[in-house]
Structure 1
Amino acid sequence: MSLSLSLEEKKAIPILKEKFDHIQKELKKKIVGQERVLNHCFIAIFSGGHCLLAGVPGVGKTLVVQSLGELLSLKFSRIQFTPDLMPSDIVGTQIITIDETTKEKRFKFLRGPIFTNLFLADELNRTPPKTQAALMEAMEEKQVSLGGEKQPLPKPFFTMATQNFVEQEGIYPLPFAQLDRFMFELALDYPSEDEEMKILELTTTAYKAELEPVLVASEILKYMEMVRKVEIDDSLVHYAITLARSTRPGDELATEFAKQWIECGASPRAPYYMILGAKAWAMLQGRSRVILEDILYVARAVLEHRIILSYHAQVEKISPSSIVSRLIEEVPKPGRKKWRFFPFLSWASRT
């Protein structure tokens, strides 16, 4: 595979921009507000990442994911996570079958609902860690293992999980290792008064929205390959790395307030997802090259859920959001430098 965009692929970027504009228009038929959340969901999809949607009940988390599946013509499945849910309810199970001719007993694998393109793990934090862990291999390796056999998942495969805020009763906080597998954690806020009026207009009348599919799975796979070929200045790559390193208390780049407020900082997945997310957002905006604003657009959603607060920060009621805001403000922004290749991550730019 070429490391740089071909002429044909560059011509396809404005077409993607037109389709993305159409998608945004279609979404307004069902979803009011939440523009930034929706944009980040599409960034994650074209980056091959996963999203965790957080918020109080009733703010539209499930509706967002269902609408994405409709617009992208993806095979969609949903599991409502409950305290009694078992891993086999998600990935599937093996049963014994008897051959009618030979009477030989064999194991047969019955696929679970995770064998789909878009998997909605609804209220993920209402199920115990053992069942939550069933998602980890699928999210990271795009496969599941059962009975010593590896079963690949369909392409493309995305997990969109929802969770209620920790203050709600009957929840199991997600392990840090699992949180790290989500490209973004996105908070859905309460609607404004005008938005709530619009929601009531859509839901308490005879109006019934029908979404028109805009993309299909094969197109998404093509655009996912193109994202990795988008050009990026090496100074922006270093900036993403510096932002991540600034969250790690033991790193030489960590600021004093980070050392005081952070127990554990962002993993190497953070700069990886910042770069891929910036490339995807650049392409959705009709560009074949990343600019600084693309990095800044995705940085918060990548970093905030990857920070574990220290005891001091918890006592002082310091939030990950405020820490990331201060880091973005204080970490020096890059200037322009020469363009380079980064083949080890399939990052492409011109020399």
Structure 2
Amino acid sequence: MSRESVTAVRDSEGIDLSAWRQRALDFERELNKVVVGQRPVVRLLTIAIFARGHVLLEGDVGVGKTTLLRAAARGLGGAYERVEGTIDLMPADMIYHTYIGEDGRPRVEPGPVIRYGSDLTIFFFNEINRARPQVHSLLLRLMAERSITAFNREYYFPYLLVFADRNRIEREETFELPAAARDRFLMEINISTPADQEVRRQLAFDPRFHDSDKLIHAVPESILDHRALPKVAAVIQETIETSPDLERYTLDLWEAVRNPASVGIEIPDVEMGRLIAGGASPRGMSYLLRAARVAAWLDNRTMVVPEDLRSVYFVTMAHRIFFDPIYELRREPIVRELCRQLFERVPAP
């Protein structure tokens, strides 16, 4: 097998990775028409879809998170559901809701999680940190097992990807996500306001971007068949290779992030021997490689290279690195500097 291109690569069941790569690029192109100035975000979203991983979105209000996910759901051809995180939301509200019918009798209807059954493809939990820990526990099972128990039966969601948004402005009546829940997200992606002045001009003055429903309906349906994605994702992981040198490099990164002082990383006003409290788990490293393989595939290679690891490292690993509590208030600048020095200090093959 060529290590330079995925052209004509097929598995034993006839999945053509070259054709699927073209569909993925078509999918990206359509999303970039809907949410302009966010090409890196759209690429990461595409990687998450083909890596079959859940995503925590961060960013200001009004930067297009909901529009992006609705457009992605249309491009996948599956069902989309959204839940608003509130302090009074309870786990049962996710599964069913009750009301009094016109005949005066109580009625029970399926809630947002099970409303579409196994066809649920994108589930968006807005302001997840406003919901109680009990709701986080339910979501944790949904993310980990893609199943839930309700009405004395099991519901399975083979195509499900969970996206969540965290409110980082208001702190009142919020509940921070536990480490176990954050670790279930393949990525944490920050979506910021575009810096390019021409993009800002379009967003402010072009009426096309003022009607999100019209934008979303312009996306062709089912560019990617959501029902085939789990199999395609598995073939990508089986097909895209890692060399012994790349594997050693990955293990060196793993060791260095757990013991940054061992490779000479120094951050001002940080006691490096005390900084790392935990994290960078085996699950996190496996997620890193899953995402890197998809990144290599999208760039038309059958071999992971160090640039693939670097392109997804921060979004897959930063939220899995836990600091001593004294440094948590300075988390964002410290973790960025840590990752920057990590790639400077650990020799790449």
TM range (shorter): 0.7 to 0.9
Match status 1:113 vs 2:112:
yes
For 2:250, which of 236, 240, 253 is the aligned residue? 240
Alignment map for 1:101-180 (pairs within 5 Å): 111-115=110-114, 116-146=120-150, 151-165=154-168, 168-180=171-183
Structure 1 residue ranges without an equivalent (≥5): 95-108, 336-351
Cα drift, residue 331 of structure 1: 1.6
Figure out how many residues of one structure are paired with residues of the other and give that number. Answer: 316
1:39 is paired with a residue whose SS is helix
Q: Structure 2: 5+ residue runs without aligned partners?
A: 1-5, 99-107, 115-119, 267-271
Q: What is the CA–CA distance in structure 1 between the aligned matches of 2:285 and 2:322, rounded to whole Å? A: 17
* Residue 124 (structure 1) shift: 0.8
Which amino acid is the alignment partner of residue 233 of structure 1? S
Q: Which residue in the other structure is 2:282 paired with?
A: 268
Give the direction of change, closer, same or farther, for the CA distance of 1:279–1:196 in structure 2 (3 Å limit): same
Measured on the aligned residues, the alpha-carbon RMSD in Å equals 3.1
CA contact (8 A) 2:52 2:230 kept: no
Q: Which residue of 1 aligns with 2:347?
A: 332
What percentage of residue pairs aligned between the two structures are identical?
26
Task: Report the CA distance between 1:315 and its aligned residue.
Answer: 6.9
Q: What is the letter of the counterpart of residue 280 of structure 1?
A: V
Output one character per residue of 1:277-323: Cα deviation in whole Å (capped at 9) or x when no partner: 01111222222222221111111111111122224535777431221
Give 1:55-134 correspondences, 5 Å limit: 55-92=59-96, 111-115=110-114, 116-134=120-138
Question: In structure 1, how many angstroms separate the alpha carbons of the residues matched to 2:51 and 2:257?
Answer: 23
Contact 1:240 1:274 in 2 (8 A): no
| 2:33 matched residue in structure 1 | 29
Relative to 1, partners in 2 of residues 1:166 and 1:233: Cα closer, same or farther, differing over 3 Å?
Answer: farther
Cα 1:85/1:295, change in 2 over 3 Å: same
Tell whether the 8 Å contact from 1:185 to 1:302 is kept in structure 2 after alignment: yes
1:260 and 1:312 in contact (8 A); partners too: no
Name the amino acid aligned to 1:211: V
Contact 2:265 2:341 in 1 (8 A): no
What's the counterpart of residue 203 of structure 1? 209
Which of residues 52, 57, 64 is equivalent to 1:48?
52
Secondary structure of the 1:59 match is coil
The answer to which of 227-236 and 31-40 deviates more is: 227-236
Report the 3-state secondary structure (helix = DSSP H, G, I; strand = E; otherwise coil) of the residue aligned with 1:32.
coil
Local SS of the residue matching 2:56: strand
SS at match of 1:8: coil
Query: In structure 2, the residue corresponding to 1:46 is in which secondary structure?
Result: helix
CA contact (8 A) 1:266 1:306 kept: yes
Between the aligned partners of 1:11 and 1:73, the Cα distance in structure 2 is 19
Match of 2:189 among 186, 206, 222: 186
* Aligned residues of 2:265 and 2:338 also touching (Cα < 8 A): no
The 8 Å contact of residues 244 and 303 in structure 1, kept in 2 or not, is answered as: no
| Paired position in structure 2 for 1:277 | 291
Counterpart contact for 1:47–1:224, Cα < 8 Å: yes
Distance in structure 1 (CA, Å) of the matches to 2:210 and 2:183: 39
- Alignment check: 8 A CA contact 1:13 1:286 kept: no
The aligned residue for residue 104 of structure 2 is none
User: The residue matched to 2:280 in structure 1 has which SS?
Assistant: coil
**Equivalent of 1:227 in 236, 257, 266:** 236
Instruction: Looking at secondary structure, tell me which structure has more helix per residue.
Output: 2
- Tell me the TM-score normalized by structure 2: 0.80
Find the aligned partners of 1:273 and 1:24 in 2 and give their Cα distance: 22
CA shift in 2, pair 1:234/1:208, >3 Å: same
User: CA 1:253–1:85 in structure 2 vs 1: closer, same or farther (change >3 Å)?
Assistant: same
Structure 2 CA distance, aligned partners of 1:145 and 1:218?
Answer: 22
Over 3 Å counting, the alpha-carbon distance change for 1:85 and 1:235 in structure 2 is same
**Deviation beyond 6 Å, 4+ runs, structure 1:** none
Normalised TM-score (structure 1): 0.80
How far apart are residue 158 of structure 1 and its match?
Answer: 0.8
Q: Partners of 1:205 and 1:141 in 2: how far apart?
A: 36
| Alpha-carbon distance in 2 for matches of 1:166, 1:329 | 33
CA distance in 2, matches of 1:205, 1:252: 51
How much does 1:208 deviate? 3.4
CA contact (8 A) 1:242 1:253 kept: no
